[in-house]
Structure 1
Amino acid sequence: MTNLLISLFIKNKDRVEDSNVRNAYGKMAGIVGIMCNLFLFAGKFFAGVITGAISITADAFNNLSDAASSIITLVGFDMAGKPADKDHPFGHGRMEYVSGLVVSLLILMMGVELFKSSVGKVLHPEVISEQWISYMILVVSIFVKFWMYMFNRSIGWKIHSETMKATASDSLNDCVSTAAVFGGMLIFHYFHLNVDGVVGIVVACFVLWGGYESVRDTLNPLLGESPDPELVTKIKEMVLRHEMVIGVHDIVVHDYGPGRRIVSLHAEVPATENIMEVHDVMDHIEMRLMEEYHCEATIHMDPVVTNDEEVTETKKEVQDLVKGYDPDLSIHDFRMVKGATHTNVIFDLLIPYGKKYQQEKVVEDIKKKVKEEMPGNHYAVIRVDRGEQY
């Protein structure tokens, strides 16, 4: 069914890197979600009215909130597809994350209301009426929601959309919550125990948990999460495939929405290379990054002395001192400046995130080690970077 819908409504379905194709996937998923959830809401609301079961009614309004979520998702994909303009030079891609966050907040609000209503039914239980059609509606709902889970998960992985993955997770939670409602009705049928309010609380908890996970997954990209390590590794490997480049560091990835990334990095090249040739290679790498990974790249060229044995040996000594202090630390952009009375060794010190060091203390400790443990009169000039070593 999923493949049929994709074949019918998505042109160039395999070109998911194309923002227009990607938005088409999102819009199709939004429309499918609206139709399915409105259908389920109508059926469950009817079942809730004729039985008087708060758990079924709660589940119905859960589907109504999902329909509203699908509308917001649809609008979010439409706005995310708008091109860059004067006020938004990096495009509108993050609107997809914003829409996902709104969806998540709606789910949380619905969960709170369902929880309150269900607690009321526990404290003040009401008689419920059995109707065979309510069982049919619940069973159909479980199958429909499971299909929606598979559908949204497939789309989410295909177009790398956290919003669609969150929607899939919500659909799976709906399967479990509806199954709990169905189980509660069976308990009433066979054991004459009214657990309607308790089941309603269980449903509300599933809704709240799904809302929490969705908030977490959509808020991180808005705040600026760490780039995908696999993407960073691929970028580094691609840059290093060029013989002129002997090292890469300070890779920064700015995410302005799916398919809208801006990358900056430092590429180390031998200081003896012709500057015009280096510039041409850097331009070529930037174009390759755009072609292969759809990243707008800016590369800073760092000249490195490679034919001076003294510089090479001194750099190794400094690296050993830094690794002796902490194996997780590393250096780059190493240079030496000799003077009449002393030699400055200049380098950047990379301190990974998560290290609880006081930055000033680390710098002073390493400066002291360089001065005391290296032969000759050496002084360290250190600039600190915070980041991850890829």
Structure 2
Amino acid sequence: MLLGANLFVAISKILVGLVINSSSVTADGLHSISDSASNIVGIIGITLASKPKDTEHPYGHKKFETISSILIGLMLLLLGINVIKTSISKLFNPSVLSITIESLIVILITLIINIFVAIYENKQGHKLNSQLLIADSLHTKSDIFVSIGVLIALLTVKLGLSPIIDTFASFIVAFFILHASYEIIKDNMSSLTDKNMVDEGVIINILKEFKAINDVHNIRSRGHNDYIFLDMHIKVDSNLNVDEAHTLVHDIENTLNKKLNKKIDLIIHVEPSNKI
């Protein structure tokens, strides 16, 4: 559904841009084309990421989703650079615009579709804790602001202002594209580079409710927004037997899952409190 909506929006914008000779509308259409491409990348990424753990990937396949999100960001980066190059060319070779009421209506309709797609994707992304859907919703959200800017530019030209406004609007389009690219790549590089995913202080505060734990240290975390690999060392009374220690570890894992509202893959090294 999302792929079909994005293709409709992209083709409509490109056709309108070519008919009225508008560089900003054409650039906006190319931006929407990248939405469709990102949907395809997203489908592939989610399919690969949903595969269960196996002997070759004991930590699962979630990083395929991260890689797919970064690919979407890189696609936007290349697109933004291309729009800037085209806009610079238009500055030195201005063209006459042929703006019609029909073209404005088409752009308004595509804007409404983009708003629906962005809201739906963002809602589903947070519901499913999917980095990829959230990244794609940011992509589409940038398209909304771009389309609003393009629509305003065309209206001002229609009212008699200089057509060069259209070219400046295409630079604004490029800015939003590059900003979306930056946000997507930045957010997903964290999990790709094993950045710490949970603040150590948060973990220590949660574990204060366990009276059996005398100390927590060597806390490390990595992973994704929705799935975190966490390991730590805890000190407990040396009289604690194996069964009690085992139960304690499971209670800690369940508590962390509940308090952090994330899936926690936990490994705990248990030490006696009197260890030197």
Quote the residue 1:245 is aligned against.
213
Quote the residue 2:111 is aligned against.
142
Q: CA deviation at 1:178?
A: 0.8
Could you tell me how far apart the structure 1 residues matched to 2:144 and 2:8 are? 15
Could you tell me how far apart the structure 2 residues matched to 1:213 and 1:254 are? 20
Structure 1 residues 91, 258: closer, same or farther in 2, change over 3 A? farther
Q: For 2:182, which of 208, 212, 217 is the aligned residue? A: 212
Q: CA deviation at 1:182?
A: 0.8
Secondary structure, counterpart of 2:59 in structure 1? coil
Q: CA deviation at 1:125?
A: 0.4
Residue-by-residue CA offset, 1:160-216 (whole Å, 9 max, x unaligned): 223222222222221111111111111111124102211111111111111111111
Could you tell me how far apart the structure 1 residues matched to 2:172 and 2:85 are? 12
Quote the residue 1:62 is aligned against.
31
Quote the residue 2:260 is aligned against.
none
Q: How does 1:1-390 map to 2 (within 5 A)?
A: 32-194=1-163, 195-229=165-199, 233=202, 235-236=203-204, 239-255=207-223, 257=224, 260-271=227-238, 273-274=239-240, 277=241, 279-291=242-254, 293=257, 294-305=263-274, 335=276
Conserved 8 A contact 1:107-1:210: yes
Unaligned 5+ runs, structure 2: 258-262
- For the pair shown, the structure with the greater C-alpha radius of gyration is 1
Q: CA deviation at 1:239?
A: 4.3
Q: CA deviation at 1:59?
A: 0.6
Q: Structure 1 or 2: larger helix share?
A: 2
Please tell me the residue identity of whatever aligns with 2:2.
G
Q: CA deviation at 1:258?
A: 5.7
Conserved 8 A contact 1:93-1:258: no
Secondary structure, counterpart of 2:54 in structure 1? coil
Could you tell me how far apart the structure 1 residues matched to 2:58 and 2:78 are? 34
Structure 1 residues 259, 127: closer, same or farther in 2, change over 3 A? closer
Could you tell me how far apart the structure 2 residues matched to 1:187 and 1:133 are? 16
Identity over the aligned pairs, expressed in percent? 23
Could you tell me how far apart the structure 2 residues matched to 1:299 and 1:52 are? 64
Please tell me the residue identity of whatever aligns with 1:150.
I
Could you tell me how far apart the structure 1 residues matched to 2:55 and 2:270 are? 30
RMSD across aligned positions (CA): 2.1
Unaligned 5+ runs, structure 1: 1-31, 306-332, 336-390
Between Structure 1 and Structure 2, how many residues are aligned?
269
Q: CA deviation at 1:93?
A: 1.0
Runs ≥4 residues deviating over 6 A: none
Structure 1 residues 286, 303: closer, same or farther in 2, change over 3 A? closer
Q: CA deviation at 1:62?
A: 0.5
Ranked by relative contact order (alpha carbons within 8 Å, sequence separation 6 or more), the top structure is 2
Structure 1 residues 259, 59: closer, same or farther in 2, change over 3 A? closer
Secondary structure, counterpart of 1:267 in structure 2? strand
TM-score w.r.t. the length of structure 2 is 0.89
Please tell me the residue identity of whatever aligns with 1:63.
S
Structure 1 residues 285, 236: closer, same or farther in 2, change over 3 A? farther
Please tell me the residue identity of whatever aligns with 1:281.
E
